[in-house]
Amino acid sequence: MKASETNFQNLTDRKVQYLVPLFQRPYSWDKKEWNDLLSDITELCIDDNSRNHFIGSIVVTDLPSKPKKLACYYLLIDGQQRLTTIFVLLILMRDIAATASGFSVSSEQIEEDNLVNKFAENLEHFKILPTQQDREVFIALVTSEPSCLQRVHPLITCYNFFKKGIKKLNLDKLHEVICKKLSIVEIVLESDDNPYVVFESLNNRGRLLTEVDLIRNYFLMKIDKDRQEDIYKEYWLPMQKSLGDETLNDFMFHYLSSGGEIVGQKEIYLTLKRRVDRYEDAFEALKRIKKFSHLYEKIINPQKEVNSIIRSKLVRINRLDYTSVYSFLLNCYHEYENNTLSVNDFASILEILENFIVRRIICKIQIKGLNKEFPLLYQNAIARSSSLLDGVKAILEANEYPRDTKFRESVIRAAFTYSNDKLKLILETIEQHILKSEPLSPTKVDWIMPKKPTSDWISELGENWQQYHDLYVNTLGNLTLVPLNYDLSNKSFLDKQIYFSNSDLALNRYFQSIDKWDHTYIEKRAEYLAEIALQIWSYFGISNQTSGYEIQTSEHEVTGTRPTNLEILGDVFPVKAWKEVYLTVLDWISEYEPSLFVELSKQYPNLISDYYHEGILKVHVLKNGYYVGTCLSAKSIYQFCSQAFQYIGLSDEDWKVERQTKP
C-alpha cells in the first residue's frame, strides 16, 4: 500500500469518484463528531497563521473493472464518515455562496471543483457515492432537490447542524480551511492487498462496528463485486429493513446458537466467520440466513404466522419472555416449514415449552442453565429419540423440571413478583380453563388484599396484620383479574365482593360465598388455584415422584415440628427453634447478599426495616443493625424463608431444614 499526505482540494480536483462499498455502515456521525470537527474548523478560521490540521486518514483501492470515463475510480474502504461530512460542508457552502455577498468563491466553482464531475453522466457525475441507504438523500443534496431539507435523515441533520455552526465564520477563510488546511493521509491499496482484511483491522478506532455491521461486511466482501449490489438488495437489505439492526443482531445470535454451539454475545461475527470459512459457500450461507430470518420474524411477531394454532401458542411463549428458547424454535420452525414436523407435533412442542417454563418460573428455579441448554436441545432431542417431541420431553424432564408436589406448593406459597404480563398470562389461562373458552376481554391484575391496606383492611386482617400482609399480598391466592376500566384499588373486601358477585369472570365467582378475607382464606384459594394449575400445566414426564432436589419440608408439615439443622448451599447451621431458622436466614442473606437484603426489606417493610416502627412486632436486631419482627408462626416463618430465598435467586433445592416432630 502507498500512503501520502494530501487535502480535500487535491482529492477532488480531478475527474474522480469515491464509491462507498456496500459492506460499509450507513452514515452515522452525530453531534459529538460534528462538534469536534466544527471546533477544529473554527480554531483554524480564527487563527491567521494556522497550520494544516490532521483529521485522519482514508483508505482506498482502485476499481480496475470500471469503464475509464473518469480519471480514477476508488473504493472507499475506510474514512467514509469524515469524507462524507466534508462533502456535506461543501454542499452547504455552495448553497450559501448562491445568495451571500462578499464571498469571493462562486457556488458554481464549489460545485464543479469539489462536488461533481461536470461532463460525466448518471451516477458518475458525483465525486462521491455513499452506500445505498444514504445515496438518494446525498444526491438530492447535491442536486438541490426541492424540499430535500425537509427530509428526516442524518445527512440532513448534519447539513443543518453546520448551517447554524458556521454562521459567524468568514466564508472565504472557511472555504480555504476546508479545502486546503484539513490534512488527510490517503492510503491506496495495491492489487495484492485484501481490502476486507485492511477494513477489519482498522475498526479498532473511531466508532466500533456492531456484530451485524461486521457480518454484512464479511458477506459482501466474500461475494464477487459485480454481484454485490444485487445480492445486497435481494438478501441483506430485506432482513435489515424487516428486523432492524438490534433485532437482526439478536437473530444472528439465535441462528448461530441453533447449530448447537454456545455463542457469546460479543462473538457472533467471529463465530459466523469461522463457520462459513470452514464449511460453507458465503452466498449459500447468506441465503440460508435469510430463510431463517423469516422464521425468526414469525417467532418474535406471531401475527405473521398464518396457522392460528401455532400463532396463539407463539404469543404465549413470547409473553413468558424466555428468549433462550428461540434458538431451539428456529430448528423446529424449519422442520415445520419443510413439512418434516407436523402442525400437531409443533403445537405440542410449544405447549411443552410453555409448561416447562411456567413450572420453573412459579417454582423460582433459576434460568442460568437455560442459555446453554436450549442451543443443544434440538440436537440432543433428535439423538435421544426418533420423535422430536418425545426427545424434547425426555431432555426437559431431566433438566430440573418441577414435579407436582413442588409445583403445587410453589403455587400456594410463592410471592408472585414477576412482570404483570406473566401474572396475567397465568391468571388468564386459569380463567380460560374454568370457562372452557377463549379469548378473554382485556383485563388487568388486581390485588384483593391491596398492597397498601386501609384501616378497613387492617381490621379485616386482624391481629398481626402487618406480617400477614407482607407474606400473603403477592401470593397467587390474593390475585385476580378485573376489566381494564375497573379500579378496585384499596376498596374494602365488602365493596370488592359486591363487584365480584356480578363479575363475568369465572375467577371472581369464587368470592360469592366468601364474607371475609385474611391469610387463612388466601391460603384456601391458593390451594384451589393450585389444583387447576396442575390440570393446565400437567406433568409431561414419565416419573412424577419427588426427586432428590425436591426433598423439602412442606409448609403444611411445619406446625408441630422442631428444627435441628438449617442447611444453605451446603453450609449447616444448628438450630433449636423456628425463630432461629428465621433469624439465621436473614443474617445469612445480609452477609452474602447485602444489596439484595436491602431490596428484600422494601418488599417486607413490616418484617424488616432499617429503623424501628410500630409495625414491627416483637422486634429483634440483626447483626447488620436492621430491625426484624419475630411475631410469626412456624408456618409463616417457613413461608417467609422460602419467599426470601426465591427473591435473591435461590430455589427450594438450595436450602432445607431438618426437623423432628415435637413429643
Where are the chain's structural domains?
Answer: 2-207, 222-300, 302-402, 409-536, 561-661
With b meaning 16 or more CB within 10 Å and e meaning fewer, what string describes 433-469? eeeeeeebeebebbebbbeebeeebeebbeebbbbbb
What is the per-residue burial (b if ≥16 Cβ within 10 Å, else e) of 313-328? Answer: bbebbbbbebbbbbbb
Q: 323-349: per-residue pLDDT in tens?
A: 999 999 999 999 999 999 999 999 999
pLDDT given for residue 197 in this prediction: 58
In the DSSP assignment, the letter for residue 19 is E
Q: Give this prediction's pTM.
A: 0.73
pLDDT digits (tens, 9 = 90+) for 9-67: 999 888 888 988 776 778 999 999 999 999 999 999 988 776 788 888 888 887 655 55
Residue 549 binned pLDDT confidence (cut-offs 50, 70, 90): very low
- 116, β-bridge pairs: 126
Given a contact cutoff of 8 angstroms between Cβ atoms, the answer to whether 412 and 520 are in contact is no
Residue 96 clears pLDDT 60, i.e. is over it: yes
Residue with cell 455562496: 97
Arithmetic mean of pLDDT, 4-8: 89
Which residue would you say has higher pLDDT here, 547 or 125?
125
Please report which confidence band the pLDDT of residue 417 belongs to, taking 50, 70 and 90 as the band edges.
confident
Contacts (Cβ under 8 Å, ≥6 apart) of 150? none
φ/ψ of 660, rounded to 5, equals: -125, 150
Q: 194 is written with which cell numbers?
A: 485484501
pLDDT over 70, % of the chain: 93
Q: What does the alpha-carbon distance between residue 509 and residue 534 come to, in Å, rounded to a whole number?
A: 20
Neighbours of 20 (CB within 10 A): 25
Task: Report the alpha-carbon distance of residue 645 to residue 586 in Å, rounded.
Answer: 10
Sheet holding 627-629, edge to edge: 608-609, 627-629, 619-621
Q: How far apart are CA 310 and CA 299, in angstroms?
A: 10
Right CATH for 561-661 from 1.20.1070, 3.30.70, 1.10.3470, 1.20.1380: 1.20.1380
Confidence band of 548 (pLDDT split at 50, 70, 90): very low
Cell 491506496 belongs to residue: 188
- Residue 101 is predicted with a pLDDT of 80
pLDDT of residue 551: 39
Least confident of 131-135, 293-297, 461-465: 461-465
Better-scored residue on pLDDT, 262 or 457: 457
Q: Which residues contact 136 (CB under 8 A, 6 or more apart)?
A: none
Q: How many Å apart are CA 210 and CA 249, to the nearest integer?
A: 8
Residue-wise pLDDT for 460-481, tens only, equals: 888 888 888 999 999 999 999 9
Q: Residue 80: what residue type?
A: Q
More confident residue, 200 or 498: 498
Parallel, antiparallel, or unpaired: how do β-strands 608-609 and 627-629 relate?
A: antiparallel
Tell me the pLDDT tens digit for each residue of 619-646.
899 999 999 988 888 988 998 998 999 8
Average pLDDT of every residue of the chain: 87
Is the pLDDT at 553 greater than 50? The verdict is no
Helix spans in 387-544 (H): 388-397, 404-413, 420-435, 455-461, 465-472, 493-501, 506-509, 519-536
For residue 357, is pLDDT > 70?
yes
- Average pLDDT of 4-12? 89
